[in-house]
Structure formats: C-alpha cells, structure tokens
A and B are shown apart, each in its own frame.
Chain A
Amino acid sequence: MALAAVLATMLGQLAVALLAIGLAGRGAWAGSVLYAASAAAGAIATLAALASLLAAPAPPETLILPFGLPWLGAHLRLDALAAFFLAVVNFGGAIAALYGIGYGAHEPSPRRVLPFFAAFLAAMNLVVLADDAFTFLLAWECMSLLSWALVMAHHHSAANRAAGHVYLTMAGFGTLALLLAFGLLAGPAGDYGFAAIRSAPLTPWLGGGALLLAVLGTGSKAGLVPLHVWLPLAHPAAPSHVSALMSGVMTKVALYGLIRILFDLLGPPPGWASMVLLAAGGATAVLGVLQALMQSELKRLLAYSTIENIGVICVGLGLAIAFQANGMTAASALAMTAALCHIANHALFKSLLFLGAGAVLTATGERDLERLGGLIHRMPQTSFLFLIGAVAIAALPPLNGFVSEWLTFQAVLLSPVLPHWGLKIMVPAVGGLLALATALAAACFVKAFGIAFLGRARSAAAATAQEVEPTRLVAMALLALACLLIGLLPGYVIDGLAPVTRDLLGAVMPAQPAAPWQPIVPVVASRSSYSGLLVFLFIGVSASLAALVIHRVASHAVRRAPAWDCGYPEPSPLAQYSAGSFAQPLRRVFGTSIFRAREQVTMPLPGDLRPARFALQMRDLVWEGLYLPLAAAIGYAAERLNALQFLTIRRYLGMVFLALVTLLLVLALWPSF
C-alpha cells in the first residue's frame, strides 16, 4: 500500500518535470503551481513512508516492474530502512519544493531548474526503493546527472562550470566503484537481484574488496575525506533550495547505499571495516569543520559543515560495526540509532540553514559574509529561523543536534570492552576528534550567524534587504519546528527507529518511556539519561522567573544611546570584526599546519601615508597532494597514448595480433596460477 503510494508520487514528480518543460515560458504562476504539486507529492510520500515505518514489523512490500534488464525486471522493495530514508528524502524534498514556490520567482532561468528538480526527487526515491543492482545503479546515475544539471543551472559563471566538471568526474568515479562493488557482490553467477546477493555469502577477500569499493563509491557521493573535494564546489553553485536538497538529502541517499551494502547485502560486516569507517569519519569531521571555519562565503561554509556531519554519522556507523562484530548487539543498536538519528537531524537543520542562506542571497544578492551584517533588523523572521538551525547544528540542548551527539558519545563510552587492541586505541582518539569537531562547529556557527545577521550592515545591499515571502518563511519554520520537536521528544524518534535496527542488526535500543518528560535511556535504565523537554522547561521557567523578578523588584528602565566601545566608537561598519578576522585565532592555532596558512603584514614606514596591507595565503593539501598529481598523471598518460591515434593500418593490425597472442597466452597459463 505504502509502496504503491510512493510510486504514485514518483510518477507525480515525473509528471511535474514533463509539465515544467511544456509550460516553460508561461509565466511565474506555472512554476508556482508545479512547485506546489511537487511539494504535495513529497508530503504524501513522507506520510506513506512514516506509516510504513510505524506499521513495522509488517513484512517488506515488494514489487517487480517490467523494465530494466529483460531477464531481471526492476525489483522494488520497501522495508524499514527504505521507509526511514524515504521519509527523510521526501520531507526534505517537500520542504524544498514549498520553498521553491517563492524562490522560483527570483530564478533567472526557471526551465533549467524545475524539470530537473522534480526528476531529481523521483530518482532519489528510486535509489532507496531499488531491490536489484541494475535499478539501483540506474537510479544512482540519474540522481548524479540530474543534480549535475542543477549545479549547471547558472552555467554563465565560470566557477559553476568548473564545479560541474569536478562534480561530474567524481560522480563518474563513484558510480564506477559501485558498479565494480556490485559486480563482486553478484559473483560469477551474475544474479543482480538483492535477494540473491543476500543469500550468497562472499569469501572474506571478495567481500572485503566489495566493501572497500562500496565505501569509495558511496563515500565520494557523501563527501568522505579525501573524496570530498567536489562537494564544497558543487553544493553552493546550485540554486539554494537545490543546495538544501543536495546537502541535506542527497548525501543521506549516499549513506543509505553504504548502510544497505554494508549491513544488509554483505551479511555481517567484518570487524576491520569499523576501523576504516572510524578513521575516515574522525578525519572527515575535523577537517570538514576546520575548512568550514576558514570560509567567508555562507553557502560554502555550510557545504563544508555538511562534510563534518557526514564524518560524525560515519563514526556512528563504524561503532555499530565494531559492536556487531564482537557480539554486543545492544551497543550496536545504540550506535546505529545514533547514526540514523543524526542522518534525520542533519537533513533537517542543514536544509533549514541552506534555505536561510538562500533567503539572504535573494534579499541582498550577496553570498560573501564580508558584505553582510545587521540582517537581524531587516529580516527578523529569517534570522530567527536561521538561529534555530545554527543552535541545532552546534549540538546545543534542547534542540535535535544535541540528541544525536549525546547518543554517539554514549556509544563511544560503551566501547572499552571491545577486545580488539586497534579499536581500544582508536575509539578514544576518535571520541576526542568528535568532541573537538563539536566545539569547532559551535565556533563556526557563531561566526556564520554573528557576521551575517548581527552587527552593522557592511554593504548597501545588506542595509536595504527586505524580508522574504511568507511561503519561504513557512518552509523554514516547518524545518525549525521539526528540529525543536525531535530535540524535545527524542524518545519517539528512537522508538520509531527500532524496526530499522531490528532488521539490520537483530537488536533494538530499550523501549523509551512513554511519558514525554521522562528521560531517554541509551542502554539500560539508571546508567545515563537526558530529558530534552525537562531541560527546555527548566531553562524557560528560570529565564522567565529571573525576568519577572527583576522587572518587578528592581528596574525595567531602558535608554537608547550610541554604542560605548570604550569611548572610541568607529563610525565605519568596516571596522567591525569580519569573517576572516573572527577565524584568525583558530587559523593561527590549526591553520598553520593543516592549511599551511601564511599571514603577511606590510606596514608602511612612519610618515608614509599608504595603508598597511595584509595578505593571507592558505592551501588545500588534499587538492594539491592528491588530485593535482592525479590529474597531471592522467594528462601525461593521455598525451602519450595520443600517439596511438595516428598509426598506419599495418601497425594497427600488428597490435591486434599482439593483443590476441597475449590473451591466448594468459588463457593457456591461467590454470597453472
């Protein structure tokens, strides 16, 4: 039933895409109606997926459609894991479409956005529903190409074209790795149905190869370091509601692929896989947030922060594997729940923040933090909603980011009993990296909110910005509300995720207390607990109490006056702290080694009236150390092979002959290996 409903909404999205091509040029109303239709389809699919998730443990729904490989057909399956991800994808999609109603009016070339937008949503749904390798890869590639088209929507800018180029290359690499992974998984018999893959266990070597290829393939889409380079280029280049979809939702679809292959298709994953994920996750979290701190462009900062959160999720998944490999199923369920919870949370607050950045972009035309400021006065609602997103992503109570962070830390604290020595050293180190990333994320969002929305306007555009349309505010408010609700009532989310962990790991977290004010419990009662609702109520009551008492008993007089600033207020708004200067202390501490940051100050001589100059140089070592040499090597090889294009027919025939002889030799010698 739920599967049919989701399929119907996918057809609806495709219809929207076709209509968008047909109705292009009919004016803004057509775009608004189509975005509304897309939002409605997304909302229906979300409800269907949630109903299916809550109805578990019903058996998974399956369906075989007559397209795809002729002897296979397209297998679809809706189990608890798919239902959870469908809910994440479609809620994010519905909100982005709702936002698109208002945002579409500001779009210079709507026909380059709307058709791809709706088809992109349908493709992501299909990735999650696919139950055979062919359909999965087809949907995966559609998702990549459609999002590439969206990145190229504003193709007049050279930076966007470069971003599209890097994205296309990395997407091709990712799909290739996944193709090989599925090839290994399907084995020599070549049965590409997931049911057949599940029932045929692999040898450790082949399984390990498939696992590494799957991590490479899905990690390049999710943004794991060092495969992340395309993400901060491509996500900000797209229109803002698409950036929200790519950062908030598409990276989650990539993680869905990782979870599906690792925990479902591969059978129980080997223990060493946890070390791969823990190392990659820890490095990704810290590098991502440090890069985010150094950015002065709002959307690029958000894209780097996505990389950080993917790292946090991967740490959760790595812990789940480690616990499962050692038979600690309850702890494994906790780590998995933490990862899934963070997946949902990040989809919510990152979408919210990107939509807020889009609102700032259309209101001011500026994406550079150094030219914003003071927007809290001009755009009060947007800034309030962005603040909620910032508090949530900084993992501060009582919002939702803290809940998943708390669950992850609880999982880390359960790990000393793991017998493996490598893990005994690695888990505390990764826990330290997570703690560092959390603190740096808070610093990063103090910077993002403080520079963009507080202080005085740094440009005329920021000083005259106008609040955005109500539909866009409603879209952001719905996300903010979801952030608050998950933060206050995490027990329901944890209970809702139980069918997923039961399917994947055969274990669940303990049932959470029914009363909303009761604390959530990670493993067994009385060990540790946290109640978001009570903390929220306590803070609310104490703050109101303090305000009430002070206003009643003491004074409530207010006088407005010029800023004090130690007696020397500087009238120019450019004298404020900028994004670059805010990050300077942390850049000095971390950046000198990680980014090779060099600062150069040129002071004029006394009496010289020229201004002092400050130059900053930072390098991206991953890009310089890995990608540029790789690109150079490929260029060199291509240059050499170019000679093969201009041979005589005699030489070509000779080469064919040589190749034939070589292949025959291999065939003849093969059994003796």
Chain B
Amino acid sequence: MPAQTTAFAEIVDANTGYLLRAAIGFGLGSVDAEDLVAETFKTFLEIQDRFEGRSSVRTFLYGILYRKNLERSRKSVREMPVDPIEGIFKERFDSRGMWQNPPRGPDLEAVSEETEGLILECLDGLVEQQRAAFYFKEVERMTAEEVCNTLEIKSTHLRVLLFRARNGLRECLERKWEAKQ
C-alpha cells in the first residue's frame, strides 16, 4: 500500500467515529450523517495541501465537516445581524441590571426525561453556526481557540454565538415547560 494511502487510512481510522458523532450532534439523521462524513473525507483529499499543521488534523476535519453541513443545509454562513434573543434577554433585567423577570422552569434539581426531551427539541431551533459552536464547546470540550479555528471566526463572534445559543435554549425550555403546566 503506498505511503500516502496508508496515511489516509490512518486518518480515517482515527477520526471517523468523532466526525460521525459530530455530524449527529449537528442534528443529522444516521444516513445523512454518514454521507456528510464521506463528503468530508473526499474534500480532505482534495484540499489536504492547505493543511498547515497549525491545528490538529481532527480540528481541520471538523472545519470541513462544519462547512459541508452548511452547504448541505443551503443556509448562509452569516447570521441575521439582529437576533431576537438579545432583546428578550435585556427585558429580563431592570435598568440597574437586576432581575425583573427571573428565570422559571426546570433546573438541575428537577431533571426528568420530559425536560430532557424539551431541551433536545429546543436544540433543533438553533441556527447551524450556533449549534456547531455549542456542540464543540459542550460536547467535544474544545477550547475557545479550537472552536474559533474550526469555525473560522474571531473570539468575539464565538462569545456572541454561545450567548445566543445558550440563552435561546434556556428561553425555549422555559416557554415549552410553561406551556405544559
């Protein structure tokens, strides 16, 4: 087996499981997730010369996976400049920054399968970029720098994405939980 082929086989062997898990984490079903991983490796072979070794091969592959997923969903990489969550968040506080509309709903002391189901439903409401940032941070436990490299964004943008993702999920959970009471 030629050296290049062997190296590719090793990369496939070491990363397929992680990429498949991430594709599922992006919200894809089994078949679509496997196809996305296959597309990712195909692209990797085409552009591997661009890999400069500044990040790990896995981070490079995650970046391809993320961009391929955006292409598949045919949605713009850019988010809407105004996200309603900013206003919703602000309205929870008074002019001194104290809670005027405190958080309601379940927390760690009231975990149930139903609550977890609501959270997973809410996750599907996040836009791709927010979901990917949230996934890499919460599930893969990447550092902020690694997430920024993967999504090709600046740290200030990552903070905005995480703020919107987490508050969007919390607001959604509260709304769904109250609708069931």
Do A and B pair up? The answer is: no
Measured CB to CB, the residues of A under 8 A from B are: none
Measured CB to CB, the residues of B under 8 A from A are: none
